[in-house]
Structure formats: C-alpha cells, structure tokens
Amino acid sequence: MPALTSPGATGDLSDVTASDATLRRFLHGLPGVDQVGAEARAASLGTRSIKTTAKAQAIDLAIRMVDLTTLEGQDTPGKVRALASKAMRPDPTDATCPATAAVCVYPDLVGVAKQQLGDSGVNVAAVAAAVPRGRAPLDIKLADTRDAVAAGADEIDMVIDRGAFLTGRYLQVFEEIVAVRGACERPGGGEPAHLKVIFETGELQTYDNVRRASWLAMLAGAHFIKTSTGKVQPAATLPVTLVMLEAVRDYREATGQMVGVKPAGGIRTTKDAVKYLVMVNEVVGADWLDPDWFRFGASTLLNDLLMQRSKLATGRYSGPDYVTID
C-alpha cells in the first residue's frame, strides 16, 4: 500500500490528485491483485452454507438491498409505475415482506417513479452521464445528471469513460467524477443525490484495473462503487466484487470514510445473493450488511428471492404466477 497520511477526510489524500503524474504514481503503486488467490478465495466463500433461520434473514436483507431496475429502450411510464409498486410491496400477499432499496430507471422516467413511490421510503435511482457507454461530452453528461436530480432522483448511477481509463488518462476520469458529483447538488439546496460510479468491469481487463478504478472513484467522492451496467458481459462476478470490497475496506482504514459497493448484472438467484452477502460479512464485516452500503443491481433476482421466501414460510414452492414477470 502506498504511504497515506493520517486518517481523516478525503482531503488528506488531496496531494494524490494534484496532477496526472501523482495520481498515476499512486494508482500504480497499489498492491497488485493475486488473480489466482482472489479467484480461489471467492470460490471458497461461495461454498459457505447458512442455516434456515439465517437464510430467512438473509433473504429479507437481500430484498432490502435490491435496486429494482429497468433500463430498456421500450420502457414506458406504465412499466415504471408497475415496477415502483412492486418495489414498495414485493409480495402483495404478505405485509411482512420488506420493500426494496430503490427503483432504477432512465432520467426521463424519474418523475414517474418518484410520483408512484411517494413517501414510501423507496429511493429513485437514475442512470445518467451517458450510461451505458459513457461516450459523450462532459457538458451533456452534466446536463443529463442535473435533469435527473431536478426530477427528484435520490441517487445517480454514472459510468466512467473506460477509453480514458484504459489509456491512463486517470486525472480526466477523476475530474469527470468530481464534476458529476457536483451536478448531484440540488438547485434549491438540501441533501444531494448520492453518486454511484460504475466501472463496467467486464471491459477493465484485469483485477489490478478494478482496484485502481475503485480507488480513483473513491478519491473523487463516490458514495458507491458499482461493477457494471448489465449491458456488457461478464458483469458482476464474485472475484471482481471481492477486489472492490477489499478496496473499500482499505479506503476506510486510510481515511475513516465508508463507501458502498453494488454488484450489478447477472445476479439472478437467491443462492447467488447469499454468496455475495457471505463475502461482504467475511471481507468488510457487518457494517456493510445494510442497504446504505451494499446493493444488488437486478431485475430478475427479486422474483427468486420472493419464491424462496415463500418456500421457507410454507414448505413448498408457489406456482408460476406467484410473482410478476418484470
């Protein structure tokens, strides 16, 4: 680990981002990731089993961590309203079933989601800043973000410019994240929208790059770091998430600040979700076992969580019409 100043605010690391050279030196001075070791540890954690009572708790926690997502060209206001209703009452037959963390939509549908969700406590997340490609002038990315925030978005999910990152233009990526975070401020004041920074890890090529991107985003003020848009494969994987969890753990040790982690794309089953929760507990600890600090970006995962929840409660699987098809 490169030498860091004493724990405190992110400003303690301001010298790291003083220039492209200092930022490059810092990021390339991070310890390299042992690919074989990371994959072996992730595989080992993925074999852990939990007992029935703990499984029931894990399912409810996973439901509370879901960002219920629709990001299709054919999205309509009606589809978003239905998704928002499902987020508030995932199982209409069981009032004890918790709500999801958020509904994630394109910026032009934020107002629809916000109106439907009302004061339910379910957040509205909007992808912005030219998601999924990240290929647009900065002023367009900032306008996209401001529009979503003005429409009521509680959270903004942006994606980094992978072309800039992979060619070593780290300061450009850093400054863009800082600018988007600034665009998350509310025009009339109040709490700004929280910023999730997506790496599109399937395009970053190495675990070392995932670690560097994690630190880069955290230095720039990300509230969450996120694996993927779900539009590129591979998306979320256990080893990639392990590397990101290690980064947020080390960042808190260096600065005293917590940053959330969001794996997204390809997490479809309760078994998958439990593997991630076990990893969170083992790598960063119980502090991150909270929707404020860990999320699942998913569309179909919630359906399986509801099916497994019903199975634990009744002892049998429900019929195919038990959950809605998103």
**Catalytic positions, written as ranges:** 157, 226, 262
Contact 287, 293 (CB under 8 A): yes
The encoded tokens of residue 321 equal: 């019409």
CB atoms within 10 A of CB 76: 12
List Cβ<8 Å contacts ≥24 apart for 88-96.
88/117, 88/120, 88/122, 90/63, 90/302, 90/305, 90/306, 91/306, 91/309, 91/310, 91/323, 94/313
Q: Which residue has the tokens 């070791």?
A: 37
Q: How far is residue 152's CA from residue 227's CA, in Å, rounded to a whole number?
A: 24
Identify the burial level of 318 via C-beta atoms within 10 angstroms of its C-beta, where 0-12 means exposed, 13-18 middle and 19 or more buried: middle
Both tokens of 199, joined, read: 């790496």
Tokens of 230: 């779900």
Q: Can you tell me the distance from the alpha carbon of 30 to that of 1, in angstroms, rounded to the nearest whole number? A: 5
HSE-up of residue 13 (Cα within 13 Å, Cβ side): 26
Print burial letters for 138-170: b (CB count within 10 Å at least 16), e (below 16).
Answer: beebbbbbbbbbebbbbbbbbbbbbebbeeebb
The residues near 96 (Cβ < 8 Å, ≥ 6 apart) are none
Strands 123-127 and 66-69: unpaired
* Strand, helix or coil for residue 148: helix
Q: Locate tokens 């109040």: which residue?
A: 190
